[in-house]
A and B are shown apart, each in its own frame.
Chain A
Amino acid sequence: MNKITWKKINPTDYFSHINIPDDWNSLEEFTDWYLDSKMPLMIPFDARVIVSDDACAICIFKKGNYQVELYLQYPEMWVRKHCHPRMDSIIMQLGGGSSSPEDIYGVSKSWGYIDKNLPPGHYHGGDSVTAAFDGKVILAFQRWENPKEMTSAAIQWKGQLQGNHQVKLIKNYYPNALVQEGYADITLPKDQIES
């Protein structure tokens, strides 16, 4: 122990009560398991903080081709129309940012709203009224088709872009994908002209 550390929690002990299955049959089953386990913050050692134009995010749990990302959506931003071509995702609202009235314990009334599974290629976003909020927090439960591809929902993207930070993120992970003014499609090569 050094002079500034108060104490060190051993993660092996701390997480020992959590029974992590080898696999799950569906994204819904994985989501239920994570919530029933009281949302363990088991941030992978190599999880990268994703900084985009509308939000920043980090993976807070990952196993096999399943993961959970925590998104902090910036104030006065909204997510444009897009889809994720090769992943299922389920969004859970955690509130904050005056995005809904106060509930008991001081949390947002929207806390705990969980959307239906968004299958690969299903367009979503476009909720422009969130531009009035002081940001908000969501969890994104994800099941990726290819575990080797796993990064972030902000990167595995097809649709309208949020801005230049996201352009850089996508180009970094998919250097050969179509990324043009205000639009990206990671399933298409960059020389393809999207009409």
Chain B
Amino acid sequence: MFKFIKIQKKPYRGSLFFFEQFKYPKEYHQHNDTNYIKTGKLISIEKKLSDDKLEMTTTMVWRSRKDFISYVTDPYVYGFLMQSRDYEIDNDITIDVVIEKDDNE
């Protein structure tokens, strides 16, 4: 199992996280459903907003690190990941990442 935890922090309450600003197309959800959820690669995804609404913690649990890498290097997904990264840079949203994994990963 491979857990990828991304913590996004925005500078002030009025600013928006990428997912609040950008609506992912239906095809994106279908793509993920077909390739990662129904195949059992992505086990769960959970988003948690802090009480002060400034910090968003996204926890993705993957069957393996290899499955996670196949997702982030998927050419279709990659475009959206880069859009999100550029948005975070432009809007001063700071990122932290925590990885939890099995010993064999």
| Assembled-state Cα–Cα distance A81/B81 (Å) | 15
In-complex Cβ contact of A109 among B2, B6, B73 (8 A): B73
Contacts of A80 in B (CB 8 A): 95
Say whether, besides A98-B69, A132-B68, A76 and B99 are in contact (CB < 8 Å).
yes
A150 to chain B, nearest CB (A): 26
Instruction: Tell me if A162 is interfacial: C-beta within 8 Å of chain B.
Output: no
Point out residues on B near A: beta carbons under 8 Å.
2, 4, 6, 65-66, 68-70, 72-73, 81-82, 85, 88-90, 94-95, 97, 99
Say whether, besides A132-B65, A132-B68, A160 and B94 are in contact (CB < 8 Å).
yes
Contacts of B88 in A (CB 8 A): 81, 126
Which residues of A, 118-134, contact B by the 8 Å Cβ criterion? 123-129, 131-133
Contacts of A76 in B (CB 8 A): 99
Contacts of B94 in A (CB 8 A): 81, 160
Instruction: Tell me if A101 is interfacial: C-beta within 8 Å of chain B.
Output: yes
Q: Looking at chain A's contact residues, is the secondary structure mostly helix, strand, loop, or mixed?
A: loop
Residue of A nearest to B70 (CB): A101
A99 touches B89 (CB 8 A): no
Which residues of A, 89-130, contact B by the 8 Å Cβ criterion? 98-101, 109-110, 123-129
Residue of B nearest to A80 (CB): B95
Q: Which of B6, B94, B95 has the most CB of A within 10 A?
A: B95
| Assembled-state Cα–Cα distance A140/B94 (Å) | 24
A-B contact list, 28 entries, CB within 8 Å: A76-B99, A78-B97, A80-B95, A81-B89, A98-B66, A98-B69, A99-B69, A99-B73, A100-B73, A101-B73, A109-B73, A124-B89, A125-B89, A126-B88, A127-B82, A128-B6, A128-B85, A128-B97, A129-B4, A131-B4, A131-B97, A131-B99, A132-B2, A132-B65, A132-B69, A132-B99, A133-B69, A160-B94
